[in-house]
Chains A and B, each alone.
Chain A
Amino acid sequence: MTAENKTGIGASVTRLEDLPLVTGKGRFAADVSFPHQLHMRLARSSHAHGRIRAIDVSQAAALSGVFAVWTAADVADVPLIDFREGPIEKLAPYRQPVLARERVRYVGEPIAAVFADDPYVAEDAADLVFVDIEELPVLMDAADPPGEFAPGFSTEPTICKQGYGDIEGAFRNAHAVVAMDLSVGRHSGVPLETRGAIGRYDAARDVLELHGAAKVPHKNRETLARMLGRSTAGLHLFEGHVGGGFGVRGEIYPEDILVLVAAMRFGRPVKWLEDRREHMMATNHSRQQRHRIRAAVDADGRLLGIDDDFLHDQGGYIRTHATRIADTTCGVLPGPYRLPNYRINGHFLLTNKTPAATYRSPGRYETNFVRERMMDVLAHRLGISRVEIRRRNLIAAEDMPYERPLVALGDDVVLDSGDYAGLLDKALVRFGWEALERSVAERRASGERVGLGIAMFVEKSGLGPTDGARINVDTTGCVEVVTGGASVGQGFETVMAQVCAEMLGVDYRCVRVVHGRTDRIEYGIGAHASRATVMTANAVAVAAAKVRTKALDLAAQLLQTDLRHLDVVDGEVVRTDVVNGPSISLASLAHHLRPASPTRGTRDPGLAAEGWFDTAHQTYPYGVQLAAVAIDPGTGAVAVEKMLIAYDCGRAINPMLVRGQLVGGFAQGLGGALFEEFQYDERGQPLSVTFADYLLPTAREIPTVDVLLTEDARSRWNPLGIKGAGEGGIAAVGAVIASAVEDAIGMSGIITQLPITPQRLKRILDDRAQAATGGEHRVY
C-alpha cells in the first residue's frame, strides 16, 4: 500500500515520547498534585508474623498537621484485595486486607494509615503509631513443613499440576536419568520510579479518580469498582508517565485503595508516594522457586520425560495474580523441545515474606534456568556437546503449529510458528561459537577461568482475547489514536503511531496516541505479558484500515475518480494513475465529514473508525542466548565478556526499540543471575531494603550485547504477523550465565542456584581446591 512510508512498520524511527522526558517535562506519579491534597503515610509491620494485640494512634493523631489516622477498624467495610481475573473461592481467604487485620504476615505490611497536610509530618506521625504485636513462629523457607495461615487454613492452599503421557514408563525405559535440585532467588522488577497513587473525588460529577495508574488501568478499574461498590462510569484511572513497570508496577496494592477511600471520605485529594525502602518491602517480589526435577533420555539424548516437583515461595498473601506464575511455570517448562511425557507439581506456599507476583518473563526466567541446566548436565552425562543435545530435541519448523497438552495463562499451548534449529545455527555463526570454543580452551590451558554458555527459550506473548482502538482524523490533519493500552516506558506511543502511519498513509509524527485513560475508551488490555504490541497494534491496524477506506471512498467521489486509482501518501489522497493529478488532504476530508457538511452525504460524521482485534491464542516468539564469561577465582566475580541475544519476534515494528527491549531485559536478567536477591534473617527481617543491599547492575557490569533480530517466523495468529519483544531479553539470562560459569569452572551440575553471587562461586572454587587436597565436600 504505502511502500514509501519511511516511518511505518519496520522503521527504526526515534520515539515520540522522548521530548518531554529529556527536558524535565514528564508527568510521573510524584509530579501529580491537586489543591488541598492530603499526604498519606503508612505505619508498617516490623514483625514478619504476629498477632496484633493493640494499636495506639493517639500520639500520631495528636501531632500538629495530622488530619486522621486509620487502622483496620476504620476500613472494615473495604473487602480484601481481589484477584484480577475474578473470584477464586479456594484462595479467597488468603487475599490481603488494605490494613492488617488481627495478624501481620510480613515485615512491611500496612497496619495504619496517617493523613496529614505535609508529607514530612505524615512520616513523623507514622513513626508515632505504636503497635503491640505478639510474635508468632515465622515460616521463611518454603521447603519447611506448611504451617497455619489462619485457623483452619494451611500455608499450602493449592498445588498446581499439569502433565501428560506415561511418566513412570518414560523413566523405566530411560537410558539415563539426571536429577537436580535447582533454585532461583527472590528478585523483583525494581523500577527506578517507586509507586505512587493519588486519589481524588469530584463530588460535583460523582467521579472518583485514581492517578498514578499503570499497566492495566481498565482491568484495575473493574476490580476497584467491584471492591468499592461503584459503577465503572463513576471511577476513572489515569496513567501519566510510568518510570518502569516490569510486572510489579500497576497491580492493585493496599495503598491504591486507601487513597481512593480516603479521598471519598475526606472530600480532599489524597497523595501517597512510596519511598525506596518501602518499595523493597511492599511492592511485589517474584521468582523464588525451588525445583526438584528429573529428566529421562534415550541413548541418543532424546528426552523421554521430565518429572518436576517445585516449591513456589509466594510470601505473606496471595495478591492480584492468584496462582498465575506457578500455573505458567507448569505450562511453559518444556520450552523449545519435544517432550513425550511430562509431570509437574507446583506447591504454592505462603511464607512470611513480601508477597510475590509477576516480574518480566514470569515462570520463564525460572523454567529456562531449570530446563537448560538439565540439558547441559544431560549433554555432559551422554558425552555429547551442549549444542548437539539441544539440536536433537528441538521441535522442527515443519511441526508448526505445535500443540501441547498444556495450559499457560489460561490458554491452551499451541506454538504458532518458529524455526528453532535455524535460529540456533544463525546464532552460533554470528557469535563465532566454534572459534570461541578454541580460544576458550587455549585460555583455560593457560590458567584462565573462562567459559561459554548456551540457552534456548520460547517466550510467550500477545494473550488476547480482544482489544480495540479508535482513530479520528481532525480537520488539521492530526490523527488521534485512542487505545486502552498502557505505556510503562517501552515506546508504546511510537509503535502504535507507526502502525497507524503504515496503514493509513501518514507520517508517524502526525499521530497522537492516547493510552492509560479509562475516561477515553471503555475497554483496554493494558501492557502486560508482552501483549500490547500484538493486541493493540492489530486493533489500531484494523481501525486505520477503516479510516483509510472511508477517506478513499469520499475522495473518489470528490475527485471523481475510481477508488482503485487512489492512495494515501503523507496524509494526502493522491491519484496513482496520473502524475501530478489532483489530490485532497485527510484534513480536508475530515472537514467534508463534519456533521453539518453537505458533502458528507449519508456517511457517519467524522473521519473516524473503531477497530477490534480478536485472537484465539498467544503467540510464541523464541530465542537463543550465548555468553562468554571470565571468572576471577580470587573474588568469585563473573565478568561477561561477550553476549549475543538471537530473537525472532515475527516482525519488528521498530527494530531499534526491539533491540532496546532485549538489551534492557538482558541487564535486568544479569542482575538476577549474579547480584540481586531479597534476603531475610531467621526472624523474617528483610536484609535487602536499600540499593546498597539489593544490587542493581550498573554501566560497569553490563557488556555490549549483540542482538541478532530475525523475522523468520511470523505469527500465524495475527494479520501483522507480530510477536512481542518485551521479555525475550531477560528470559534466558539466568540460564545462559549459569551455563557459561559452569563451563568456565568445568564442574558439571555444580551451579544449582541463582544468583551466582561472588560468595557462592568462591565457596564452590575453594571447596574444590580443598577437596583436591583431601578436605571434606560440602553440599549446597
Chain B
Amino acid sequence: MTDKCDIVLDINGQQYRVTIEPRRTLADVIRDDCGQTGTHLGCEHGVCGACTVLLDGDPVRSCLMFAVQAQGRKIRTVEGLTRGTDLHPLQRAFIAHHGLQCGFCTPGFLMLAAGMLERNPDISDDALVDVLSSNLCRCTGYENIIKAVRAAAAEMRSAR
C-alpha cells in the first residue's frame, strides 16, 4: 500500500499535483491533499451525497471513486460555484429560503442541484424532487431545499 503515484487533478480549473496512494478516495484527496474542505463526508458508502462533486458536469459521489480515476477529468466542488465574490444563484437561494441549518449536507446539495440544472434547466418540479431525493439532509425536512432549488432554477432560466 505504500506505492504512491503522482497524479494531477483539475479542481475548479486549478491543477493540483499530488503524490498519493492509489487507494485514496477522491473525496479524501480533494479534502486532505488539495485542501478543499467544502466537500464533506457523511457516510463514505455512497448514500448520503454530502460528498457530491461534479465530474465533467455529472454529479458523482466522491467517496465512491479513487482519486486516480479522476485524472484528466474536470472536477467542480462547492468552492468553484462562486464567481469572484458573486454567489451562484443556488447559493443565494439557499440563504434566502433558509435551505440550510447545520450546513453539512449543503455543499452536496448545491453540487447535485447545479449539475442537474446545467444538464436540464427546464426540469419539471416533480423530477426535481426525484433528483434531490438522492441526497440526505437531517435538519431541514427538505422543504426549503426544494423551494431554494426551484427558485434558483427559475432565476437561471430567466437569465438565459
Contacts and interface: CB of A to CB of B under 8 A. Distances in A.
Interface in B44-87: 44-45, 47-48, 50, 77-79, 81-82, 87
B136 A192 contact: yes
Nearest to B141: A667
A241 to B, nearest CB: 7
A494 to B, nearest CB: 10
Contacts of B135: 698
Interface in A179-199: 189-194
Given A23-B79, A690-B43, A691-B47, A488 B102 contact: yes
Contacts of B154: none
B5 interface: no
Interface in A399-422: none
Contact of A664 (B79, B106, B141): B141
Interface string B130-149: 10111111111111111000
A189 B102 CA distance: 13
- Which DSSP category, helix, strand, loop or mixed, fits chain A's interface? loop
A656 B39 CA distance: 27
Given A28-B104, A700-B130, A667 B140 contact: yes
Contact of B36 (A18, A24, A189, A489): A24
A64 B1 CA distance: 11
Nearest to B137: A192
Interface stretch (A242-250, A320-328, A742-750): A242-250
Contact of B101 (A30, A275, A490): A490
A276 B45 contact: yes
Given A22-B94, A30-B31, A193 B38 contact: no
Interface in B104-157: 104-107, 110, 129-130, 132-146
Contact of A656 (B37, B98, B102): B98
Interface residues of B, number: 56
Contacts of B39: 24
Contacts of B103: 17-18, 21-22, 26, 241, 243, 489
Given A192-B138, A194-B42, A700-B130, A23 B143 contact: no
Given A23-B79, A244-B102, A276 B43 contact: yes
Q: Which residue among B1, B39, B102, B110 has the maximum number of chain A CB atoms within 10 Å of its CB?
A: B102
A601 to B, nearest CB: 44
B112 to A, nearest CB: 11
A342 interface: no
A15 B107 contact: no
Contact of A19 (B95, B98, B139): B95
A15 B48 CA distance: 25
Interface residues of A, number: 57
Contacts of A22: 78, 87, 91, 94-95, 100, 103, 106, 110
Interface string A461-492: 00000000000000000000000000011110
Q: Which residue among A15, A22, A24, A275 has the maximum number of chain B CB atoms within 10 Å of its CB?
A: A22
B41 interface: yes
A64 B21 CA distance: 15
B2 A64 contact: yes
Given A194-B42, A696-B136, A660 B98 contact: yes
Contacts of B48: 192, 276, 691
Nearest to A242: B102
B95 A15 contact: yes
Q: Which residue among B39, B87, B91 has the maximum number of chain A CB atoms within 10 Å of its CB?
A: B91
Contacts of A19: 95
A497 to B, nearest CB: 15
B17 interface: no
Nearest to B92: A22
Contacts of A656: 98
Contacts of B31: 30-31
28 contacts: A19-B95, A21-B106, A22-B78, A24-B36, A24-B39, A24-B77, A24-B107, A26-B38, A26-B103, A120-B1, A120-B21, A120-B24, A191-B104, A192-B102, A192-B105, A489-B102, A657-B98, A663-B140, A667-B141, A690-B47, A691-B136, A696-B136, A698-B133, A698-B134, A699-B145, A700-B133, A705-B143, A729-B141
Given A22-B110, A691-B48, 5 more contacts: A18-B103, A244-B138, A489-B102, A490-B101, A699-B129
